[in-house]
Amino acid sequence: MTKTTTISIAKDPLILVTGAAGLIGSTIIWTLNKMGYKRIIAVDHLSTGEKWQNLRSLNILNYYEKKDFRELLAADNFSESFQIIFHLGACSDTTEVDASYLADNNFAYSKMLSLYALRHKSRMIYASSAATYGDGSNGFKDDENTIYKLRPLNKYGYSKQIFDQYLLHNNILLNKENEASFIGVKYSNVFGPNEYHKAQMRSMILRSFEQITSTGKVKLFKSYMKEYGDGEQVRDFLYSKDAAKMTIFFMHEGRDLRGLYNIGIGYVRTWNDLAKATFMALHKKSKIEYIEMPEELKVRYQYYTCLDMSKYKNAGYKEEPIILENAIKDYVRYLKKDSHLGDLDNE
């Protein structure tokens, strides 16, 4: 009989969050703070931009730049072990062309943390990606048995796929006898506060807000498939505050689970729905212009993505995610603040 190790979480664990200043990372720390957790070590690469502002309202114990942290990690030179690891630090740009950079930043870095977790019996919850599903021809189901059938469409997706494969192939991901444990979360189209730094990877909600406030209209791509009207291409949109709560679930009620789990809503909405909800949140009349899609995008554009959420729901998470219109209303209220950067509270 296979022995199943029950995961014990200390009352006040030392928590590591990589990618701490990012969209999901900063929201996870904000949520943990609201739950009473303050012993949090944050890691990121702040560079010369404004991403540092995503950390300024958060309560953390210490901060490391990623380069310095990786050196400490290689030497295993920490005074106290991380019991919980939220590994969200990665290049998430789906247009990144340097595969070697992605292999180092997204795969090698993740592997270093997994080896640390194994040595120190840590709970590691890491960001995989829905980009691993590729064009969806093999479905959007978080089934470890089908992982080798997936064909990501870009280098970013592949950098996430090879880490999932590494953990599975080396009997780490699902091994219930390990005192360390691993959860890979495959996020859907996450949007919300603290994404302004993401350049071309900003969500369409943020882009719509910017377009409406500057020009009074929103530009969406035309459709080139007869099954979909212009702006009727669909996605599984998820608010970042829900993504954070759904991820933290694996630290608490879902602490004994292992494997890959989708993080999304599980039903689709159109780009038109998104644009109209943004106009509504700004109390403006909808005005949408449909534009030509770049030729290089036409061959790899996805008209439909929707994550299968049955596995996650069966894991015991009970809270219903906020609907798109209410999420956009909350987000727009945040964006309209004169000094909103980093402060996720809307009270």
Rounded Cα distance between 203 and 196, Å, is 9
pLDDT over 60 (residue 338): no
Look at 345 and 307; give whichever has higher pLDDT: 307
Helix ranges restricted to H, 282-318: 295-298, 310-314
pLDDT over 70 (residue 34): yes
Rounded Cα distance between 44 and 116, Å, is 18
- Region 132-151 average pLDDT: 89
pLDDT over 60 (residue 246): yes
CA 80-85-255 angle, to 5 degrees, is 110
Q: What's the confidence (pLDDT) of residue 94? A: 72
CATH code: domain 15-191+237-266+306-319 is 3.40.50.720
Rounded Cα distance between 75 and 33, Å, is 29
pLDDT over 60 (residue 49): yes
pLDDT digits (tens, 9 = 90+) for 170-214: 999 999 988 999 999 999 889 999 888 776 778 899 999 999 999
Q: How many CB atoms lie within 10 A of CB 1?
A: 3
> Is 303 annotated in the active site?
no
- Region 254-259 average pLDDT: 92
pLDDT over 50 (residue 347): no
φ, ψ dihedrals at 124, nearest 5°? -110, 115
Largest CA distance in the chain: 65
> What residue type is 337 in one-letter code?
K
Query: Which position among 133, 156, 239, 312 bears the catalytic label?
Result: 156
pLDDT over 80 (residue 265): yes
pLDDT digits (tens, 9 = 90+) for 68-125: 999 999 999 899 999 999 999 887 777 777 889 888 888 899 999 999 999 999 999 9
- Write down the mean pLDDT value for the chain: 90
Exposure class string for 70-86: b at 16+ Cβ within 10 A, else e: beebeeeeeeeebbbbb
Query: Which position among 111, 198, 311, 329 bears the catalytic label?
Result: 198
- Nearest Cα neighbor of 43 from 70, 24, 79, 81 is 70
- Region 165-171 average pLDDT: 94
pLDDT over 90 (residue 343): no
Q: Where in the chain is the domain with CATH 3.40.50.720?
A: 15-191+237-266+306-319
Best-predicted range by mean pLDDT (77-81, 126-130, 259-263) = 259-263
pLDDT over 90 (residue 45): yes
pLDDT over 60 (residue 339): no
- Terminal-to-terminal C-alpha distance of the chain: 52
Q: Where in the chain is the domain with CATH 3.90.25.10?
A: 192-236+267-305+320-347
User: Crossing angle, helix 324-335 and helix 271-281, to 10 degrees?
Assistant: 50
DSSP 251: G
Q: What's the confidence (pLDDT) of residue 342? A: 59
Q: What's the confidence (pLDDT) of residue 190? A: 93
Positive or negative CA dihedral for 240, 107, 99, 142?
Answer: negative
pLDDT digits (tens, 9 = 90+) for 320-333: 999 999 999 999 99
> Is 198 annotated in the active site?
yes
Q: What's the confidence (pLDDT) of residue 305? A: 87
Assigned CATH topology for domain 192-236+267-305+320-347: UDP-galactose 4-epimerase; domain 1 (3.90.25)
The two tokens of residue 99 are 């595969």
- Region 242-251 average pLDDT: 96
Helix ranges restricted to H, 179-323: 204-215, 240-248, 271-281, 295-298, 310-314
Rounded Cα distance between 150 and 140, Å, is 10
